[in-house]
Chain A
Amino acid sequence: MNQTSNVQRPTGINREQALNAEVSADGAASNIKYRRSNILWRIVDFGVAGIFIYAGALKMLDPVQFAHDVKNFQILPWPISVALAFYLPWLEILCGVGLVFRLFYRGALCILSALIVVFTLATAAAKLRGLDITCGCFGHASQHWSFPAHLATNLGILAALLALWFSHRLARYVGEALPGTP
């Protein structure tokens, strides 16, 4: 690789570079370990992304029903429910795609985590107020789920997102420390 000057280079390198760096000396063994755990993390990436893309698609196909479901939380006024009904599913889908293709990865993780937290809080609040909400992460399709099931699912997804976040940070940190950076 031709490098002219190191001045404009960003300080860290991403996981791919760490992975693919042909390190001839002591980095060789650790590279294999990273490759294996990287596949595992990619599987988690795909799993979480799949959930959000699927959930987003379900809601995107019937925005009218989703708007009603949001209204039933009785937190937001109707016009905002409608706006969210059109917008949120696409945000979920794009962030899921970002996870899959490693585009805007950290931003996607961050947004999805925030969504899940807000969602769980809203569900808990509705439950406390005794509202009849049939909407979960999966829109009207999850209307038969009970509250504990909703809660458990959301917390599981949040746990996966947090795990991805921390593993990503760890890899970046380690990547910075790897010798032989081009």
Chain B
Amino acid sequence: MKTHILAFALSITVCLGARAELKFDKTEIELHPTPADKQAVGHFTYQNTGKTPVKFKSVKASCGCTAAQTQKDEVPPGEKGEVTATFNIGDRTGTQVKTVTVETDDHTNPHTVLTLRTIIPQLLEVTPTFVFWKQGDKPDAKPITVKVGKEFTVNNIKVTSSSPDFQTKVEETGKGEFKIDVQPKDTNSNLGTTLTIQPVDSPKLFYATARVTGAPPAPMAPADQKAPAGQAAPVAPTDQKAPVGKTAPSGQTH
């Protein structure tokens, strides 16, 4: 019984080995870019182990963020080559898995999926990335916590505000942890700033936004508002202005 199973298994592997033509050394690559990297590149090398040339029909990535190319369109027997997958990290975080589907005219293996797994290191974690005050609120300082990734050491961070209307103060609150206190000069008008956070020994930049947001004081023609039921719930007078406040943010209509 055992020898039969062994013989069967062997014959299958031998059969498979003989027929496959375009063989990839690895179909799954894991990349560990540094925080400063903007791209992560995976080199999927292959070899034509068959007796006839193999032609690439298409090389497609699962998302627009990954570009994939082969060096050559046709691979003669015995030749080696590579499919290069370039993943644009952009502003992504965490573990990103993208695939590249390769189609060839190889009958036994027309369809290969290459997997690119990119572990994006988190140098800093900024929470929250957005703080706000409503118009009329007390202009108290609001905290933003910056945590350093476990595998990194950051001695200090530099915070700059794009607008002079906001003040920032940075203090170290623990090992690998900082606190940024942001404060507007007043909350009488819609103000905004982008805070650029930079670790002292790295070129990588992180961001947070602070805004004074809210409605102009006088309610205007509330009758023409299709006031949704949920909106009526808050009782405080300031909230009643909220539906009308739509005219204030300028980005809305474009």
* Contacts from A to B (Cβ < 8 Å): 127-130, 132, 134, 143-144, 146-147
Contact = CB atoms under 8 A, between A and B. Distances in A.
Contacts of A146: 28, 30, 117
A96 to B, nearest CB: 29
Contacts of B16: none
A65 B85 CA distance: 29
B170 interface: no
Interface in B82-125: 95, 97-99, 101, 113, 115, 117, 119
A171 to B, nearest CB: 21
Given A129-B113, A130-B113, A144 B97 contact: no
Nearest to A130: B113
8 contacts: A130-B62, A130-B113, A130-B115, A132-B97, A134-B97, A143-B95, A144-B95, A147-B115
A107 B95 CA distance: 39
Contacts of B62: 130, 132
A130 B99 contact: yes
Interface residues of B, number: 12
A91 to B, nearest CB: 28
Closest 8 pairs between A and B when the two form their complex, measured CB to CB: A130-B113, A132-B97, A130-B99, A146-B28, A147-B28, A130-B101, A143-B95, A146-B30
Nearest to B96: A132
Interface string B27-40: 01010000000000
Interface of B: 28, 30, 62, 95, 97-99, 101, 113, 115, 117, 119
A143 B96 CA distance: 11
A127 to B, nearest CB: 8
Interface centre among A128, A132, A134, A144 (most CB of B within 10 A): A132
Contacts of A132: 62, 97-99, 115
Contacts of B98: 132
A146 B119 CA distance: 12
Contacts of A128: 113
Contacts of B115: 130, 132, 147
B150 to A, nearest CB: 14
Contacts of B119: 144
Given A130-B101, A134-B97, 4 more contacts: A130-B113, A132-B97, A143-B95, A147-B28
A139 to B, nearest CB: 15
A108 B230 CA distance: 52
Contacts of B95: 134, 143-144
Contacts of A129: 113
A149 to B, nearest CB: 10
B108 to A, nearest CB: 14
Nearest to A129: B113
A132 B97 CA distance: 6
Contacts of B101: 130
B9 to A, nearest CB: 14
A124 to B, nearest CB: 13
A147 B142 CA distance: 45
B118 to A, nearest CB: 11
A113 B2 CA distance: 20
Contacts of A144: 95, 119
A69 to B, nearest CB: 13
Contacts of A147: 28, 115
Nearest to A147: B28
Nearest to B97: A132
A147 B97 CA distance: 13
A176 to B, nearest CB: 23
A146 B97 CA distance: 11
A132 B115 CA distance: 8
A128 B112 CA distance: 8
A143 B117 CA distance: 10
Nearest to B94: A143
Nearest to A132: B97
